Amino acid sequence: MMVSALIERELTRLGSPVRNGVFVAVVGPSGAGKDTLIAYVRERLSDDDHVEFARRVITRHSDGATEDHDTLADAAFIEADASGAFALSWEAHGLRYGIPASVDDAISVGHVVVANTSRGVIPALRQRYANVAVVEITASPEILAERLAARGRESRGEVLARLARTAPHDLSGPGYVAIDNSGSADVAGERFLAVLRKAVAFSDVSGLI
C-alpha cells in the first residue's frame, strides 16, 4: 500500500505516528465470529463516547446478513483512495476495503477506534498509529468449517481445504491478544470487552502525557 501525498500531509498535521488514542484491529479467519463479537462489545459500550466503531467501505453490496458497511463501485473506490478518503485500504478475496480517514482525527483526540481489518495490514497500522492493539479472534478448524459450511457457499470439505491453505501471519508484538471463540460468544465477548476497557484506560492516560 502506498500512502498518497495528501495522506502524508495529513499525518504531518496530526503527527506521525498518530498518538493519544488506540486503534484496535480485529482480525481472524472467516467463521471465527468477528462480527458477532464486535456487535457484542458495541452494545455494551454504547454509552461510552470514547469508543468508536469504524464503518468500513467495501466494494461489495451489503446483504443485511453480515457486517453493515458502505459500498463503493471499484472505480469509485480507487478514486476515493487516491483523494485521501481512507486512513488505510487493502484488497482481499477480490474486494477492496477501506477505513475512513476520520479515524485519524478520532485517535488524535484520544479515542479508541475498533475496526475489522486484514491480518496483512497490521505492519502498516503499527507504522501509522503509536498505539495499536491486535485482537485475533480464533476458533478450532472444525468449528470454522461448520460455520462456513452453514452459509451454503461451500461444502464442508471445500471449507477445510481452504482453511488448510490459509497463509499464517506473524501478529506478535505489543498489544496482541488472541481470543478463542469456539464456544459461547458471551465468554469470548467478555474477554474482548476487557481488552477495550483496558484500551480506554490507556488512552485516558496517554492523552495527558
Residue range 152-181, pLDDT digits in tens? 666 767 777 766 666 667 787 778 999 999
Residue 44, C-beta contacts closer than 8 angstroms, at least 6 positions apart: 193
Distances (CA, A) of 75 to 81, 82, 102, 117: 10, 11, 21, 21
Predicted confidence (pLDDT) per residue in 110-148, tens digit: 999 999 999 999 999 999 999 999 999 999 988 888 887
- Going by the annotation, the residues of the binding site for ATP are 28-35
Binding site members: 28-35
d(CA 122, CA 160): 25
- Higher confidence at residue 191 or residue 69? 191
Are 98 and 89 a contacting pair, CB within 8 Å? yes
- Name which of 207, 200, 208 is nearest 24 in CA terms: 200
Each residue of 44-64: pLDDT tens digit?
A: 999 999 999 999 999 988 765
Q: Taking the domains of the chain in order of start, what are their residue ranges?
A: 19-55+102-204
CATH architecture, domain defined by 19-55+102-204: 3-Layer(aba) Sandwich (3.40)
